[in-house]
Chains A and B, each alone.
Chain A
Amino acid sequence: MSDVSYNQSPEAEFGDYVELMKPRVMTLVVFTALVALLVAPGGLHPVVGASAILFIALGAGASGALNMWYDADIDAVMRRTANRPVPAGRVRPDEALAIGIALSGIAVVMLWLATNWVAAGLLAFTIFFYAVIYTMWLKRATPQNIVIGGAAGAFPPMIGWAAVTGGVSLESVLMFALIFMWTPPHFWALALFMRSDYDDAGVPMLTVTHGRPATRRQILVYTLLLFPIAPALALMPVGGPISLALALGLNLWFLRGAWEIWRRDEVIAEADNYAVEKRFFKFSLAYVFVLFAGLLADHLAWGLF
């Protein structure tokens, strides 16, 4: 008698709602937006800057919640995502939708009040782009889904920059381009070693539609396209010797990894359990973090004199 009508759907804990915001994706969003905000010319009052970062993160979390609401059917099939709050039944789909919409509104309005309409507009567009254009449309429609979805992840530094300057400039476009070009190699390396997950879910991942050799080739192509961006950013006024040295070093390392991936095939990869692909994926995470940390280091080192 004690467990009446409770077994079918356990109520959510607070942590389940936090998980809805994709906290791990948010670390990249917060870090890149924060660096852009700090290195942008002008500077904000610390309270305003901290609020701006908070609301950018909130907007990213809101779009994560919308993504989890819409993608629950795909997530339920894939091993990597089956335990997310909505497919696992801990959060109801309509709750996820309501939270996503409400937090999007709060984040955009508050960013506008805290900073300016350009930053708020970019944030609104990013949420729309990720939730509607990427999640609802392109993810299920085209194998280029990762390329276009990468744009959503590339906007945060532009938003951070706009929060300070009230506009868009070559530097912030280069920061965008850096993350945009970096996303495809990063995710396709994951798709290579996550094997059949996307096949089962019916998501048109490049590995499914065009095969694995084509994916390996595309990783190399996008790594080559990525190559000039980091050095170009380092040569801008926001950059400096530290950024330039890091950009050149990390680029060579990244290119070597992509080259190795391109030269391997599935037989070799399965023999060592995708060691090279896994290493490349881990390194690609460090790539973005270290490059942005380099910009910050240059700013702190030379900004003082």
Chain B
Amino acid sequence: MTIRATHELHSRRFSRNRGVAILLVSFIAVVFGLTVVKVQHVGATQGFDHVLRPEMLAPDGTAVAE
């Protein structure tokens, strides 16, 4: 036997679940938007992984131990 009637309790739960879902999606949108804006305004960035960085070299061109 399947119960098909929607109890008032279910509409309350649905209202809550839908609200939380919308909130979470909006929060993701806000964080994403903030990230895009911040990255755009921070200026040129440099990756530090396994790449020779010219400003780390000594004046005579030799590498300096970190």
By a beta-carbon cutoff of 8 Å, the part of chain A in contact with chain B is: 2, 6, 10-15, 17-18, 45, 47-48, 51, 54, 110, 113-114
Return the CB mask of B25-53 against A: 1 if under 8 Å, else 0: 00000110110111001000000000000
B13 and A11: CB pair below 8 A? yes
Tell me which of A11, A17, A45, A54 contacts B37 (CB under 8 A). Answer: A45
Beyond the given pairs A10-B9, A12-B12, A47-B36, 12 more chain A to chain B contacts, judged by CB atoms under 8 angstroms and listed by A's residue number, are: A2-B7, A6-B9, A11-B12, A11-B13, A13-B15, A14-B15, A14-B16, A15-B15, A17-B16, A45-B37, A48-B37, A114-B34
Q: Are B34 and A10 in contact (CB under 8 A)?
A: no
Q: Is B18 an interface residue (CB 8 A)?
A: yes
Chain B residues whose CB sits within 8 angstroms of the CB of A12 once the complex forms: 12, 16
User: B20 within 8 Å of A by Cβ?
Assistant: yes
A2 to B10, CA, bound (A): 13
A2-B7, A45-B41 known; A51+B16 contact, CB < 8 A: no
Prevailing SS type, chain B contact patch = helix
Interface presence of B54 (CB below 8 A): no
A2–B18 CA distance with the chains assembled, in angstroms: 25
Closest residue to A18 on the B side, CB-wise?
B19
**A51 close to B20 (CB less than 8 A):** no
**Complex: A205 Cα to B41 Cα, angstroms:** 51
10 smallest beta-carbon distances between A and B, as pairs:
A14-B19, A47-B37, A13-B15, A14-B15, A14-B16, A13-B12, A47-B33, A11-B12, A45-B37, A51-B34
CB distance from B36 to the nearest CB of A (A): 8
A194 CA / B16 CA spacing, docked (Å):
34
What bracket does the count of chain B residues touching chain A fall in? 10 to 19
Q: Are the C-beta atoms of B16 and A54 separated by less than 8 Å?
A: no
CA distance A54 to B34 in the complex (A): 12
Smallest CB separation, A85 vs chain B (Å): 12
Complex: chain A residue closest to B23, CB-CB: A14
Report Cα–Cα, A113/B37, bound state, in Å. 12
5 A-B residue pairings within 8 Å (CB atoms): A6-B9, A13-B12, A13-B15, A14-B19, A113-B34
Give CA–CA (A103, B1) in the complex, Å. Answer: 43
By a CB distance below 8 angstroms, the chain A residues around B30 are: 51, 54
With a cutoff of 8 Å between Cβ atoms, the chain B residues found around residue A18 in the complex are 19
Residues in chain B near residue A17, CB distance under 8 A: 16, 19
* Nearest chain B CB to A37 CB, angstrom units: 15
Quote the shortest CB–CB distance from A10 to chain B (angstroms). 7
* A229-B42 Cα distance, complex, nearest whole Å: 39
- The CA of A45 and the CA of B36, in the complex, are separated in Å by 12
Considering the chains assembled together, what is the distance between the CA atoms of A14 and B31 in angstroms? 23
Q: Which of B7, B18, B34 contacts A14 (CB 8 A)?
A: B18
User: What A residues does B31 contact at CB under 8 A?
Assistant: 110
User: Which of A2, A17, A47, A54 has its CB near the most chain B CB atoms (within 10 A)?
Assistant: A47
- B-chain residues with CB within 8 Å of residue A13 when the two chains form the complex: 12, 15-16
Residues of A within 8 A of B20 (CB): 14
Residues of chain A with a CB closer than 8 A to B34's CB: 47-48, 51, 113-114
CB neighbours of A48 from chain B (8 A): 34, 37-38
Closest residue of chain A to B11 (Cβ to Cβ) is: A13
The distance in angstroms between the C-alpha atoms of A186 and B26, with both chains bound, is 36
Residue of B at shortest CB range from A2? B7
- Distance (Å) between the CB of B48 and the closest chain A CB? 22
| A135 → chain B closest CB, angstroms | 25
Residue of B nearest to A46 (CB): B37
